Amino acid sequence: MARATKTRSTVSGKPLDRATLKRIDRWWRAANYLSVGQIYLMDNPLLRRPLRPEDVKPRLLGHWGTTPGLNFVYAHLNRAISQRDLDMMYIIGPGHGGPGLVASAYLEGTYSEVYPEIGQDEEGLKRLFTQFSFPGGIPSHVAPETPGSIHEGGELGYALSHAYGAAFDNPELVVAAVVGDGEAETGPLATSWHSNKFVDPRRDGAVLPILHLNGYKIANPTVLARIPDDELIALMRGYGHTPYVVEGSDPQTMHQAFAATLDRCLDEIRDIQREARSTGGRAGSRPVERRPWPMIVLRSPKGWTGPESVDGKPVEGNWRSHQVPFADARGDEGHRKVLEEWMRSYGPDELFDESGAPAEDIRSLHPAGDRRMSASPHANGGLLLKDLRLPDFRSYGVEVREPGTGAVEATRVLGTFLRDVMARNMETFRLFAPDENSSNRLQDVMQVTDRTWNARIVGDDDHLSPDGRIMEILSEHMCEGWLEGYLLTGRHGLFSCYEAFIHVVDSMFNQHAKWLKTTDDIPWRRPIASLNYLLTSHVWRQDHNGFSHQDPGFIDHVMNKKAEVVRVYLPPDANTLLSTVDHCLRSKQYVNVVVAGKQPALQYLTMDEAVVHCTKGIGIWDWASNDEDGEPDLVMACAGDVPTMEALAATEILRGFFPSLRIRFVNVVDLMRLQHHEEHPHGLRDADFDSLFTTDKPVIFAYHGYPWLIHRLTYRRTNHENVHVRGYKEEGTTTTPFDMTVVNQVDRYDLAMDAIDRVPSLGPVAGHAREALKNKLIEHRQYVRTHGEDLPEVRSWQWGAGGGPAFSTRDPEKEAPES
């Protein structure tokens, strides 16, 4: 260990007596020893004999540099929890400091409780060390396997958003959130500092950010570690925090300084909440003045307490300590000697008894039971999860007298349902949207709650309140992070977003889906509420915003995840949307993606029909089919609201030209029904799939997204070679709604021509029909570029309203008699 630097602290004082100081330091040393052992050793865990090559793992993986600082903070939080009887969680942004959190959970006894084979003895230590970053073992990051964790941390940027998500509606919870100085350079983390403007101290818990500056990333210095102190302090104050600095490397003085600072911060949190809860009362009463929340800037050396140098090159306090400080302790005797000296410097003979268990004073430093951060029920949210109290979605349904009629905004109808979901679950349900809740037509929810806002409010602001439950900030990262933290601690929510921009959280979705997949196989992890996305303002109705807003590819991204975890739904109208969302809100351990339009659109199914159709997930619409008494000549299939309308219009056109053509109309709500049942639990068996799509007839499939996904889902099916998919093919612009379908050839006229080309019996007799369809596309192109809107017959089309030739080449508005 390098020579200690002088400790500097904003807060003075020595709150630790000699005995407590000694216990904290011993706990910290034990955690550091266990962390190094996990990275390097697979045998001889207590160094009861000199290290041999075979004691060292052949492949060394892990991150040492941030770990001793994390262990330092953990030890001090334990002291505070015990003294103050706190309900506390620990979230670490540098989640690659995984050995530290595993070590802490082991010292607290939680690890041996959930993994009895890893006992608190020498054999248990050997197993603990060997499993880390080892085949058949555990990952090097703070993974779902780590008790006390809700934050994997492999991808940086989300520690604070997860922490605040956990704190919302948890009034007694304090979340200590360590932000690494590498993580602090990310965009999502920079935005996350603003979360304090969305906390209501009357009903929410508190987050204590700890900015841990150890100076380096993998190989480069970090920005916040190199800027002047006054600049850093000004930045944190500007974010709405009162920053307290603790800096140094001498353990004894650093312990006292950090303990004093931690006490000051916890006192301030208590005072803020006490003032708000006494003068402002509970949520719903007059707002209280927002005060800056405390935070800590902790400066400590990277790789603290590690080797000062190896092979003549600096390690402690240097970027070389970021991962494995030296990599050949198995084959290099000199490196092995450094490792042994390093580990013995912690005094393992003093820290562990003869059996290999942690010494009594170390075992007793931490709090008991659920107060242990590694055993917090909040970090295993399914333990606290209660089902939502849901109204009967059927009572919100739209009357459908005739299929394919009406003009209803599906998400506006959904908004009335969500309004009453919110009213019944005012402490366990929130909506999240990047400034788009009303744009997405969910504004009826504001009849029972406001938008969450604890910054300044001026005269004409719309529905802003500290106790609002609609979480809006113009950052998809923040909405996702808040929601994940909220779900992982046992609550429910829904995230509505413009379809094209949900891609901003692609990697966050990845991490959450992987978390769910992993926890499915961890018995002590209890199921949590599903992560529900409502994607609207979708590709087919972003004609006014243009090409930049047109992208349905999130579905493809989601489909790459394990079938046990993901679900994708494309309800074609308001009633199927209600049924789908009700199902999603009741589900657990999934990521549900629901894509639905917000613009006025036709309605197809009564509520009873919608429930049946959504329960099946796929089905034949008899009223749009005419093959009841025999085999079809053609299957017209669709998934998505606009493709459904175009497929129906194409069906009507074909039946107008060819009255004897037998068409089966199939609509898909649950996209996973197309997969084989061996690949997805919702997948159809071959016999069921063939009964819908036949084994040899042409299938014209109008799809909401990129066409190749349908081929990917159906490639194993008997009739796959006859499945012809039309969807979005990356053609878009600022244009009319119908022209968007035309430029991507998923419009009714192109679908009809495709059907003509695929049905062998139509070839000899379809010449005039094809010409008429081509002429209609030319007429359309000229009309929209002259009038700036779609053809009247397209704008006014409804199912069954036509007759005879299926469409007219005349403009009824131009031929209307003068008044």
Q: Where are the domains of the chain?
A: 8-377, 406-456+464-602, 632-815
Q: Kindly give the interhelix angle for 506-519 and 476-488, rounded to the nearest 10 degrees.
A: 10
Predicted pLDDT at 317: 87
8-377 and 632-815 agree in CATH topology: yes
Percent of the chain past pLDDT 90, that is, above it, reads 88
Q: How far apart are the C-alpha atoms of 687 and 718, rounded to whole Å? A: 10
Alpha-helix residue ranges (DSSP H) falling in 587-640: 607-616
pLDDT of residue 811 exceeding 70, the answer is no
Question: Does an H or E element contain 472, and which?
Answer: strand 470-472
- Cα–Cα separations (whole angstroms), residue 386 to 25, 147, 163, 376, 469: 40, 21, 21, 17, 18
What is residue 380's DSSP assignment?
G
pLDDT of residue 802 exceeding 70, the answer is no
Q: How far apart are the C-alpha atoms of 168 and 198, rounded to whole Å? A: 9
Interval 404-428: pLDDT, tens:
999 999 999 999 999 999 999 999 9
- CB contact burial 535-555 (16+ within 10 A = b; e otherwise): bbbbbbbbbeeeeebbbbbbb
Q: How far apart are the C-alpha atoms of 752 and 698, rounded to whole Å? A: 13
Predicted pLDDT at 807: 53
Interval 28-68: pLDDT, tens:
999 999 999 999 999 999 999 999 999 999 999 889 999 99
Residue 289 exposed, middle or buried by CB count within 10 Å (0-12, 13-18, 19+): exposed
Residue 165 exposed, middle or buried by CB count within 10 Å (0-12, 13-18, 19+): buried
Is domain 632-815 in CATH 3.40.50.920, yes or no? yes
Predicted pLDDT at 806: 47
- CB contact burial 635-674 (16+ within 10 A = b; e otherwise): bbbbbbbbbbbbbbbbbbbbbbbbeebbbbbbbbbbbbbb
Predicted pLDDT at 804: 36
What is residue 390's DSSP assignment?
-
Contacts with 576 (C-beta within 8 Å, 6 or more apart), sequence order: 605, 610, 613, 614, 669
The candidate with the shortest Cα–Cα distance to 213, out of 262, 185, 180, is 180
Give the pair of three-digit tokens for residue 404: 């394919």
Beta strands in 181-324 (DSSP E): 206-213, 241-247, 293-299, 309-310, 313-314
Q: How does strand 8-9 pair with strand 173-180?
A: unpaired
Q: How far apart are the C-alpha atoms of 770 and 753, rounded to whole Å? A: 6
The rounded Cα 396 to chain-centroid distance in angstroms is 29
Using 50, 70 and 90 to split pLDDT, how confident is the model at 147?
Answer: very high
What is residue 529's DSSP assignment?
B
pLDDT of residue 284 exceeding 90, the answer is no
Average pLDDT over residues 340-352: 96
Contacts with 79 (C-beta within 8 Å, 6 or more apart), sequence order: 16, 20, 24, 259, 365
Q: How far apart are the C-alpha atoms of 350 and 139, rounded to whole Å? A: 29
Interval 634-666: pLDDT, tens:
999 999 999 999 999 999 999 999 999 999 999
Interval 298-324: pLDDT, tens:
999 999 999 999 999 999 989 888 889
What is the CATH code of the structural domain delimited by 406-456+464-602? 3.40.50.970
Q: Kindly give the interhelix angle for 18-40 and 67-84, rounded to the nearest 10 degrees.
A: 140
Strand partners of residue 176: 90, 208
What is the helix, strand, coil percentage profile of the chain, to 5? 45, 15, 40
Range in 55-64, 101-110, 276-285, 692-701 the model is least confident about: 276-285
pLDDT of residue 9 exceeding 70, the answer is yes
Q: How far apart are the C-alpha atoms of 290 and 268, rounded to whole Å? A: 13
Beta strands in 516-587 (DSSP E): 531-536, 566-569
Strand partners of residue 724: 700
CA dihedral over 248, 250, 252, 253, signed as positive or negative: negative
Mean pLDDT of the chain: 93
Which residue has tokens 């912690």?
A: 346
Question: Does an H or E element contain 393, and which?
Answer: none
The candidate with the shortest Cα–Cα distance to 33, out of 477, 351, 288, is 351
Give the pair of three-digit tokens for residue 407: 């003009």
Is residue 760 within 8 Å of 661, Cβ to Cβ?
no
The candidate with the shortest Cα–Cα distance to 370, out of 156, 108, 576, 103, is 108
Which residue type occupies 240? G
Q: How does strand 451-452 pair with strand 464-465?
A: parallel
Q: How far apart are the C-alpha atoms of 638 and 650, rounded to whole Å? A: 11
The candidate with the shortest Cα–Cα distance to 210, out of 285, 293, 141, 126, is 293
Which residue type occupies 112? S
Q: How far apart are the C-alpha atoms of 590 and 593, rounded to whole Å? A: 10
DSSP labels, 112-164 = HHH-TTS-SSHHHHHHHHHHBTSTTSB-SSS-TTSTT-S---SSSS-HHHHHH
Is residue 727 within 8 Å of 746, Cβ to Cβ?
yes
pLDDT of residue 334 exceeding 60, the answer is yes
Predicted pLDDT at 817: 37
The candidate with the shortest Cα–Cα distance to 633, out of 696, 571, 568, is 696
Interval 702-715: pLDDT, tens:
999 999 999 999 99
Angle at the Cα of 79 from the Cα atoms of 202 and 207, rounded to 5 degrees:
30
CATH of 8-377, picked from 3.40.50.300, 3.40.50.10440, 3.10.20.590, 3.40.50.970, is 3.40.50.970
Interval 472-511: pLDDT, tens:
999 999 999 999 999 999 999 999 999 999 999 999 999 9
Highest mean pLDDT pick, 277-281, 342-346, 760-764, 804-808: 342-346
Average pLDDT over residues 357-372: 92
